Chain A
Protein backbone atom coordinates (compact mmCIF):
# COMPACT_ATOMS: atom_id res chain seq x y z
CA UNK A 1 0.00 0.00 0.00
CA UNK A 2 2.08 2.91 -1.27
CA UNK A 3 -0.12 5.92 -0.68
CA UNK A 4 2.95 8.17 -0.55
CA UNK A 5 5.70 7.52 -3.05
CA UNK A 6 9.18 8.87 -3.36
CA UNK A 7 10.40 7.32 -6.57
CA UNK A 8 14.01 8.50 -6.35
CA UNK A 9 15.92 6.59 -3.69
CA UNK A 10 18.89 8.94 -4.03
CA UNK A 11 19.90 12.33 -5.37
CA UNK A 12 23.32 13.92 -5.66
CA UNK A 13 23.88 17.66 -6.19
CA UNK A 14 26.73 20.12 -6.01
CA UNK A 15 27.01 22.58 -3.17
CA UNK A 16 25.31 25.86 -4.02
CA UNK A 17 22.96 24.31 -6.57
CA UNK A 18 19.27 23.56 -6.17
CA UNK A 19 18.08 20.22 -4.77
CA UNK A 20 14.61 19.13 -5.84
CA UNK A 21 13.04 16.21 -4.03
CA UNK A 22 9.78 14.83 -5.34
CA UNK A 23 6.85 13.05 -3.79
CA UNK A 24 3.61 11.67 -5.23
CA UNK A 25 0.51 10.56 -3.38
CA UNK A 26 -2.53 8.55 -4.33
CA UNK A 27 -5.04 9.36 -1.61
CA UNK A 28 -6.93 12.53 -2.60
CA UNK A 29 -8.18 12.85 0.97
CA UNK A 30 -4.74 13.87 2.25
CA UNK A 31 -4.87 17.49 3.33
CA UNK A 32 -1.61 18.12 5.15
CA UNK A 33 1.88 17.36 3.90
CA UNK A 34 5.23 17.49 5.63
CA UNK A 35 8.89 16.99 4.86
CA UNK A 36 11.24 15.48 7.38
CA UNK A 37 15.01 15.14 7.33
CA UNK A 38 16.71 12.18 8.94
CA UNK A 39 20.33 11.61 9.82
CA UNK A 40 21.59 8.10 10.66
CA UNK A 41 20.86 7.03 14.24
CA UNK A 42 18.51 9.98 14.78
CA UNK A 43 14.78 10.46 14.57
CA UNK A 44 13.11 12.35 11.72
CA UNK A 45 13.42 16.12 12.08
CA UNK A 46 10.55 18.29 10.89
CA UNK A 47 11.52 20.65 8.07
CA UNK A 48 8.48 22.25 6.50
CA UNK A 49 4.80 21.57 5.94
CA UNK A 50 1.98 22.67 3.68
CA UNK A 51 -1.76 22.54 3.97
CA UNK A 52 -3.83 21.51 0.96
CA UNK A 53 -5.35 24.99 0.76
CA UNK A 54 -1.96 26.35 -0.31
CA UNK A 55 0.28 25.61 -3.26
CA UNK A 56 3.53 26.95 -1.86
CA UNK A 57 5.21 27.41 1.49
CA UNK A 58 8.63 28.88 2.01
CA UNK A 59 10.98 28.84 4.97
CA UNK A 60 14.46 30.15 4.37
CA UNK A 61 16.27 27.91 1.93
CA UNK A 62 13.38 25.41 1.88
CA UNK A 63 10.29 25.71 -0.29
CA UNK A 64 7.55 23.14 -0.65
CA UNK A 65 5.28 23.17 -3.70
CA UNK A 66 1.96 21.33 -3.83
CA UNK A 67 0.16 20.44 -7.07
CA UNK A 68 -3.14 18.93 -5.95
CA UNK A 69 -4.38 18.09 -9.42
CA UNK A 70 -1.27 16.04 -10.07
CA UNK A 71 -1.13 14.75 -6.48
CA UNK A 72 2.48 15.83 -6.40
CA UNK A 73 4.65 17.80 -4.05
CA UNK A 74 8.25 18.80 -4.14
CA UNK A 75 10.83 20.20 -1.79
CA UNK A 76 13.32 22.71 -3.15
CA UNK A 77 16.52 23.47 -1.25
CA UNK A 78 18.39 26.53 -2.48
CA UNK A 79 21.31 26.82 -2.15
CA UNK A 80 22.18 23.28 -1.15
CA UNK A 81 24.83 22.83 1.54
CA UNK A 82 26.88 19.76 2.51
CA UNK A 83 25.06 19.73 5.88
CA UNK A 84 21.83 19.08 3.99
CA UNK A 85 23.06 15.58 3.18
CA UNK A 86 20.51 13.27 4.80
CA UNK A 87 17.49 11.13 3.99
CA UNK A 88 14.39 13.22 3.26
CA UNK A 89 10.94 11.81 3.93
CA UNK A 90 7.70 13.08 2.55
CA UNK A 91 4.67 12.47 4.79
CA UNK A 92 0.95 13.10 4.50
CA UNK A 93 -2.08 13.04 6.74
CA UNK A 94 -5.86 13.25 6.48
CA UNK A 95 -6.68 15.58 9.33
CA UNK A 96 -10.25 16.35 8.31
CA UNK A 97 -11.03 12.69 8.73
CA UNK A 98 -9.92 13.02 12.33
CA UNK A 99 -6.77 11.06 11.68
CA UNK A 100 -3.47 12.30 12.97
CA UNK A 101 -1.33 9.51 11.61
CA UNK A 102 1.41 10.36 9.19
CA UNK A 103 1.87 8.19 6.11
CA UNK A 104 5.48 8.26 5.02
CA UNK A 105 7.25 7.73 1.75
CA UNK A 106 10.33 5.52 1.58
CA UNK A 107 12.69 8.48 1.59
CA UNK A 108 15.26 10.00 -0.76
CA UNK A 109 18.90 10.10 0.25
CA UNK A 110 20.33 13.49 -0.66
CA UNK A 111 24.07 13.92 -1.00
CA UNK A 112 25.42 17.45 -1.41
CA UNK A 113 28.97 17.41 -2.68
CA UNK A 114 31.37 20.22 -1.74
Chain B
Protein backbone atom coordinates (compact mmCIF):
# COMPACT_ATOMS: atom_id res chain seq x y z
CA UNK B 1 0.00 0.00 0.00
CA UNK B 2 1.44 3.40 -0.96
CA UNK B 3 2.41 5.64 1.92
CA UNK B 4 3.83 9.04 2.68
CA UNK B 5 7.43 8.92 3.88
CA UNK B 6 9.39 11.54 5.81
CA UNK B 7 13.06 12.04 6.60
CA UNK B 8 14.69 12.41 8.99
CA UNK B 9 12.64 10.87 11.77
CA UNK B 10 14.36 13.11 14.30
CA UNK B 11 16.30 16.33 13.73
CA UNK B 12 18.15 18.22 16.43
CA UNK B 13 19.34 21.70 15.59
CA UNK B 14 20.58 24.82 17.32
CA UNK B 15 18.50 27.95 17.50
CA UNK B 16 19.08 30.15 14.47
CA UNK B 17 20.07 27.30 12.18
CA UNK B 18 18.23 26.38 9.01
CA UNK B 19 16.54 23.01 8.72
CA UNK B 20 14.96 21.21 5.80
CA UNK B 21 12.38 18.53 6.44
CA UNK B 22 11.75 16.15 3.58
CA UNK B 23 8.68 14.28 2.47
CA UNK B 24 7.81 11.94 -0.37
CA UNK B 25 4.04 12.10 -0.91
CA UNK B 26 1.99 9.32 -2.47
CA UNK B 27 2.87 9.33 -6.15
CA UNK B 28 -0.48 10.05 -7.79
CA UNK B 29 -1.59 12.65 -5.24
CA UNK B 30 -1.95 16.27 -6.26
CA UNK B 31 -2.30 18.13 -2.96
CA UNK B 32 0.44 18.34 -0.36
CA UNK B 33 0.40 19.66 3.18
CA UNK B 34 2.50 20.32 6.23
CA UNK B 35 1.12 20.18 9.74
CA UNK B 36 2.81 20.36 13.10
CA UNK B 37 2.02 19.17 16.58
CA UNK B 38 3.70 20.79 19.56
CA UNK B 39 3.94 18.34 22.45
CA UNK B 40 0.60 18.03 24.22
CA UNK B 41 -1.21 20.27 21.75
CA UNK B 42 -3.37 19.89 18.66
CA UNK B 43 -2.22 19.02 15.20
CA UNK B 44 -2.09 22.41 13.43
CA UNK B 45 -2.22 23.20 9.74
CA UNK B 46 0.79 25.04 8.32
CA UNK B 47 0.47 25.10 4.53
CA UNK B 48 -1.10 23.45 1.52
CA UNK B 49 0.51 23.18 -1.91
CA UNK B 50 -1.09 22.47 -5.25
CA UNK B 51 0.03 22.89 -8.83
CA UNK B 52 3.49 24.01 -7.72
CA UNK B 53 2.31 26.84 -5.55
CA UNK B 54 1.06 27.52 -2.08
CA UNK B 55 -2.73 27.39 -2.05
CA UNK B 56 -3.27 28.22 1.60
CA UNK B 57 -1.17 28.96 4.66
CA UNK B 58 -1.82 29.59 8.31
CA UNK B 59 -0.64 32.48 10.45
CA UNK B 60 2.05 30.15 11.82
CA UNK B 61 3.61 29.91 8.36
CA UNK B 62 5.50 33.18 8.42
CA UNK B 63 8.49 34.36 6.39
CA UNK B 64 10.77 31.90 8.19
CA UNK B 65 8.99 29.01 6.51
CA UNK B 66 9.04 27.96 2.88
CA UNK B 67 7.99 24.90 0.90
CA UNK B 68 9.25 23.49 -2.31
CA UNK B 69 8.66 20.60 -4.64
CA UNK B 70 12.10 20.43 -6.21
CA UNK B 71 11.37 17.39 -8.38
CA UNK B 72 8.50 15.07 -9.17
CA UNK B 73 8.63 13.23 -5.88
CA UNK B 74 9.95 15.31 -2.98
CA UNK B 75 8.13 17.97 -0.99
CA UNK B 76 10.22 19.95 1.50
CA UNK B 77 9.62 22.32 4.38
CA UNK B 78 12.41 24.75 5.18
CA UNK B 79 12.69 26.75 8.36
CA UNK B 80 15.25 29.47 7.77
CA UNK B 81 16.21 30.45 11.29
CA UNK B 82 14.82 28.06 13.86
CA UNK B 83 13.45 29.21 17.20
CA UNK B 84 12.96 27.21 20.38
CA UNK B 85 9.20 27.30 19.83
CA UNK B 86 9.60 25.53 16.48
CA UNK B 87 10.27 22.33 18.39
CA UNK B 88 7.43 19.99 17.40
CA UNK B 89 6.44 16.97 15.34
CA UNK B 90 6.09 17.97 11.71
CA UNK B 91 3.75 15.89 9.59
CA UNK B 92 3.59 15.86 5.84
CA UNK B 93 0.33 14.78 4.18
CA UNK B 94 -0.98 14.30 0.67
CA UNK B 95 -4.35 13.76 -0.93
CA UNK B 96 -5.64 12.98 -4.43
CA UNK B 97 -7.98 15.98 -4.38
CA UNK B 98 -10.27 18.21 -2.39
CA UNK B 99 -12.98 16.38 -0.41
CA UNK B 100 -10.61 13.46 -0.11
CA UNK B 101 -8.90 12.11 2.93
CA UNK B 102 -5.37 13.29 3.61
CA UNK B 103 -2.74 10.65 4.18
CA UNK B 104 -0.10 11.48 6.74
CA UNK B 105 3.54 10.53 7.01
CA UNK B 106 5.13 9.27 10.24
CA UNK B 107 6.43 12.71 11.13
CA UNK B 108 9.78 14.36 11.83
CA UNK B 109 10.48 15.30 15.41
CA UNK B 110 12.30 18.64 15.36
CA UNK B 111 14.14 19.63 18.50
CA UNK B 112 15.61 23.14 18.64
CA UNK B 113 18.15 23.71 21.40
Query: Which residues of A does B touch, CB under 8 Å?
Result: 32, 34, 36, 41-46, 49, 51, 89, 91, 95, 98-107
Known contacts A100-B31, A100-B48; A46/B56 CB under 8 A: no
* Contact partner, A42, options B45, B50, B107, Cβ 8 Å: B107
Which 5 A-B pairs rank lowest in CB-CB distance, beginning with the nearest?
Answer: A43-B104, A101-B45, A104-B43, A46-B101, A44-B104
Task: Indicate if the CB atoms of B56 and A100 lie closer than 8 Å.
Answer: yes
Q: Find chain B residues with CB under 8 A from A89 CB.
A: 43
Residues of B in contact (CB 8 Å), total: 27
Which DSSP category, helix, strand, loop or mixed, fits chain B's interface? strand
Q: Find chain A residues with CB under 8 A from B75 CB.
A: none
Known contacts A89-B43, A105-B42, A106-B42; A100/B95 CB under 8 A: yes
Q: Find chain A residues with CB under 8 A from B58 CB.
A: 101
> Closest CB-CB distance, A102 to chain B, in whole Å?
6
> Closest CB-CB distance, A74 to chain B, in whole Å?
18
* Contact partner, A49, options B44, B98, B101, B107, Cβ 8 Å: B101
